[in-house]
Amino acid sequence: MRKLKLQMQLSVDGFVAGPNGEMDWITWNWSDDIKAYVQEVTEPVDTILLGRVLAEGFIPVWKERSADPSADAFTHKMVNAPKLVFTKTLTAHGWENTTLATGDIVEEVTKLKNADGGDIVAYGGARFAASLIKYNLIDEYHFFINPTVIGKGMSIFNALDTKLSLKLERAQQFECGISLLKYTSGI
């Protein structure tokens, strides 16, 4: 079975965005050690899952970055890997290597995890990630804790109806000030 990995930026107090989606608190100037970690985690990935809101910014930004002659292999992977965008509102799009998923999220993700292929990575907005977490679809959580407290904002845990037990697999601080907490599900 393929693994589904969630990569999320979080504030120290556990938010993924401010109350209105603000992301001005995120450390964008990454050090080489965090870049190497993300490269390692995404190496076995051959499919990207996105929520519609994030996809609208994510896909065009990576496409633009890939036009730069100095773009690295990671950038090209973000463009060339098949992407599945979960949406209830889009019926069409103009994105390459992208399919819309409009069905039940549990059925769609379970079918994908049971198919042949490499690992899957999910990048989400708060609602999309919350749905994946609520239905216990994530195998690995890669939380990048930014050294900022924002006080209030959007959570990815607010859809849980019950306790979710995780196992800490790795904790690491990167030179840029971000700390990693890697968890696996099902302890």
Contact 154, 15 (CB under 8 A): yes
In our burial notation (b when 16+ CB lie closer than 10 A, e otherwise), range 167-187 reads eeeeeeebebebbbbbbbbee
In the chain, domain spans: 4-51+103-185
Query: What are 161's two structure tokens?
Result: 């109806």
- The separation between CA 101 and the C-alpha centre of its own chain, rounded to angstroms, equals 16
Q: Determine the 3-state secondary structure of 54 from DSSP.
A: helix
pLDDT beyond 90 at 143: yes
Query: What are 172's two structure tokens?
Result: 């690491």
pLDDT beyond 90 at 56: no
Q: Which CATH number does 4-51+103-185 carry?
A: 3.40.430.10
Of the chain, the percentage scoring pLDDT greater than 90 comes to 76
Question: In which band, very low, low, confident or very high, does the pLDDT at 187 lie, cut at 50, 70 and 90?
Answer: low
- Its pTM stands at 0.93
Classify the C-alpha dihedral 187-142-154-83 as positive or negative.
Answer: negative
Query: What are 45's two structure tokens?
Result: 């990935």
CA-based nearest residue to 6, from 105, 122, 93, 95: 122
pLDDT beyond 90 at 90: no
CA-based nearest residue to 174, from 32, 43, 15: 32
pLDDT beyond 90 at 18: yes
Residue 17 per-residue DSSP state: B
Q: Determine the 3-state secondary structure of 27 from DSSP.
A: coil
Give mean pLDDT, residues 15-38.
Answer: 95
Question: In which band, very low, low, confident or very high, does the pLDDT at 10 lie, cut at 50, 70 and 90?
Answer: very high
To the nearest whole number, what is the mean pLDDT of the chain? 93
CA distance 60 to 52: 13
CA-based nearest residue to 128, from 89, 93, 167: 89
pLDDT beyond 90 at 91: no
